[in-house]
Amino acid sequence: MSLAGKHVLFFANVDWSFLSHRKEIAAGCIEAGAEVTLMAGDTGRLHEIEALGVRAVPVDLSRTGTDAKKELRTVSGIASSLRSLRPDIQHNVSIKPVLYGTICAQQARPELLVNAVSGAGSIFDRQGAIGLARDLGCLGLTPLMNRKGVYWVFQNEDDIAVYRKRHLVRGDQLTLTMGSGVDLNRFQPRPLPDTPTAVFASRLIWSKGVGTFVEAAELVRQEFPRARFILAGDPVDANSGSIGRQQLDDWVDSGVVEWAGVVDDMPALLGSATALVLPSWYREGVPKVMLEAAACGRPTIGGDIPGARRAIDDPTTGFLVNPRSAREVADALIKLFESPSLVEQMSTAARVKAEASFGVDAVVKSTLDLYSRGLTSSTRHLALA
């Protein structure tokens, strides 16, 4: 499709998440003739984004901020930026940008508003006063969220059900994608390592299952003392569930796990593994690292949650386990470490699945098709009646 003369604006939490999850879509927009802007929190990588031909506009956005006065200032700044930038298509990514971006779009009035849900998030699991406040908030937001000119991108059917239950989205508004997809040319199969090796690569927060991974490592090493267990990621995260540097140091000092730091060369990291392990119970869409592991021909052991079920065919390309059970994770790893032939079979099947379902080109096409459909049917319906 042609986007000639259109201005596409992405609104994300932080710059690095755009680089890891949305840059191919932005490139597709530029190729289609659009001007592209990113509004995001600045972690020092905005210059990389500008090198892609994308204008970068920093915003002061805290992923977990709860200070009411500061959040109101944040919303005011977002609204001011959107009024100045005047996008034709505004693409909000993740919970807070979706919420604030939708509210602030009332003044900027883009032709098309796209809200990408990369996971329902923990907020929809909360009960009590927080759950009541959430449900009341959803009622108040319904007129903004499901009106004409607003479209949604989901990564799994369970999240769609959550939003539809609360009347935040209509059936004709949504598109289902396989997460952010993966570059099948960059992520290629490599020879399996000689030493049994498990890799955990993610944000190092408890709900991603990092503690379960370490406990499982201790169990597996009783039978495979030479096995390697590698953690990759930043132990200091804005999320309140961050493990922290001291906990990481304690684990590494114990000799149970290694820490690879924040890794840019993910194909090399995954290529060094026998299997990826991500026993997460975090309500995410489809974990991108699972798609990357499959493209590298690596089986994955993942928590039995909605997003992982789309990425893993149990027991063909990996195993789905109770994410809070170190014993189940350990048993799955032992099964793989005991049988190189099983690993080979799963590796081949994982790559085949990646080629069939995980390619980023399909995600880009699906997104641009959504833009086309939305622009065709929308004639600036974003102002409230």
Per-residue DSSP letters for 159-215? HHHHHHHTT---GGGEEE--TT-B-TTTS---PPPSS-EEEEES--BGGGTHHHHHH
Angle among Cα 332, 239, 90 to the nearest 5 degrees reads: 105
With H, G, I as helix, E, B as strand and everything else as coil, classify residue 32: coil
- Predicted structure pTM score: 0.90
What is 197-357's CATH superfamily?
Glycogen Phosphorylase B; (3.40.50.2000)
* Spatial separation of the C-alpha atoms in residues 336 and 349, rounded to whole Å: 14
Whether CATH 3.30.450.20 fits 7-181+360-377:
no
* Spatial separation of the C-alpha atoms in residues 97 and 385, rounded to whole Å: 23
* Spatial separation of the C-alpha atoms in residues 377 and 288, rounded to whole Å: 31
Q: pLDDT tens, position by position, for the chain (385 residues)?
A: 689 999 999 999 999 999 999 999 999 999 999 999 999 999 999 999 999 999 999 998 876 666 788 888 989 999 999 999 999 999 999 888 998 999 899 878 899 999 998 876 554 454 444 443 434 344 446 656 767 889 999 999 998 888 888 778 877 888 899 999 999 999 999 999 999 999 999 999 999 999 999 999 999 999 999 999 999 999 987 677 899 999 999 999 999 999 999 999 999 999 999 999 999 999 889 999 999 999 999 999 999 999 999 999 999 999 999 999 999 999 999 999 999 999 999 999 999 999 999 999 999 999 999 999 889 876 444 443 3
Beta bridge pairs of residue 275: 198
Give residue limits of the domains in the chain: 7-181+360-377, 197-357
* Spatial separation of the C-alpha atoms in residues 339 and 49, rounded to whole Å: 44
Do 197-357 and 7-181+360-377 have the same topology in CATH? yes
Beta bridge pairs of residue 176: 154
